Amino acid sequence: MIFSTPLFIFAFLPLFLAVYFVVPATRRTAVILVGSCLFYGWWKATYLLLVLGIAAVSFVAGYVSIRAADAKHRQWAVRIGVSINLLCLGWFKYAYFIAGSFEAAMTKLGTSEASFDLPEIILPIGLSFLVFQSISYILDVSRKDAPPARSLIDFLAFSTLFPQLIAGPILRYKDLADQLTHRSHSLDAFSKGTQRFVVGLAMKLLIADSVAPMADRLFALPDPTMAEAWLAALTYSIQLFFDFAGYSAMAIGLGLMIGFRFVENFNNPYISRSVTEFWQRWHISLSNWLRDYLYIPLGGNRGGGLKTYRNLVLTMVLGGLWHGANWTFVLWGIWHGGLMALERRLGSKSQDPVWPRFLAWPLTMAFVMIGWVMFRAETVAHAINIYKGMLAENGFLLTAETLLLIRPTELLFLAIGVTLTVWPVFDARLRAANLSPVTIPAHQQLRSLTVVALFALCGLIMQARSDSPFLYFQF
């Protein structure tokens, strides 16, 4: 089931909310669990058992780790729990990749007999997010950084929480432990949640889905010109941000409706002035997870310059692999890790840019868009073809065929997307200069009217278009 469909918005969600608010407060966590199971099982009921099984194993591992007689038994509980999570992720997400890479290596060495006859494997949606959440629970509980789940029902509800299970943000049990037990509900919070959901829905339907066809066409060009290649990178950058940030906004909004306060996942990433700052603003829950459970355990910045650079690159490579089983994601991780290491070598340790002031933002955006090409490409060769176009190997201007196929609405929503991503810079300057002409009450009234209009427009679009899954469903 997809958030941006009439089935979810006009059937599942109203029915779920009606049941949730009718039952006693002590039963609402159980309602969340049942509703989440129905939501996930709608896609594939058999994989619901896998999700529940991973959650149950993680719950038991955490339970055993805090009741272990000594450190040795505690370590074994953690190792077994984490290993089962990683084995599940490895089988469903990386089995084909590992087998294919091994066969290719053997073929180059002249051993063509090496082959694997693997069964058909379908990646369960949301598995990457679930595994990271489960691992963080096991580690946090064993270190006594988080309280153990009060009951299996509570932990299963946390693990299957339908607003964010499919594509994040990545939650940590310690941040929701109290909320699972005691949640505050109010009309104001519900209203804010509804507004946040509608804004996220509009981000997905109006902008991401509107520019997606142009991105697909441009990336499919056999010999893109410089203008076509850079336009492809720009269009995909806008599509990916509004698709993923839109989902996160919808998840946060749904959480508010039922009393949860989820972590923010985006903070205007396209106004960053360094790649380091970009990763403090983009997919924040993943960045924090990688920092706390990979970068710091690897040694962080405690081992001197070379080890710090190694840890940065290795962390980003593993972050890239988390996104998908393809060498494109490995190279994407190396690109970002290498740039972050370079920035640190040049003196960057926070959001302060190391690049010249007038170059910091455009240079960072160029770095990010170059990375998105590898992220979007189906193969490394496909990405290299786009890079050749960026370097004007096939000419400079848009071809007549490309100009003919571009729709005015695609350009319109691309322009709107670009404007919205950089608007915070201009808004901050207007506020600093005290030049904003809109009063607070008028602003709130305008926001309410805008939300109603956006929802009506999204409703029309949902009827006219076919369902479009979120991009991060594949990760």
Which residues are catalytically annotated? 323
DSSP string, 38-74: HHHHTT-HHHHHHHHHHHHHHHHHHHHHHH-SSHHHH
DSSP string, 317-348: HHHHHHH-SSHHHHHHHHHHHHHHHHHHHTT-
- Going from the C-alpha of 399 to that of each of 356, 394, 408, the distances in angstroms are 35, 10, 16
Q: Tell which residue, 277, 212, 289, has the closest CA to residue 244.
A: 212
What Rg do the C-alpha atoms of the chain give, in angstroms? 23
In whole angstroms, what is the distance from residue 276 CA to residue 367 CA? 11
Residue 435 CB neighbours (<10 A): 8
> Residue with structure tokens 């310690």?
174
Q: Read off the tokens for 147.
A: 């309280």
Nearest 5°: CA angle at 286, between 471 and 251?
Answer: 55
Tell me the residue length of the chain: 475
289's enclosing H/E stretch is: helix 284-290
In whole angstroms, what is the distance from residue 338 CA to residue 442 CA? 47
In whole angstroms, what is the distance from residue 126 CA to residue 47 CA? 11
Largest interatomic CA distance in the chain = 73
Q: Read off the tokens for 418.
A: 């670009």
Q: What are phi and psi of 345, to 5 degrees?
A: -60, -30
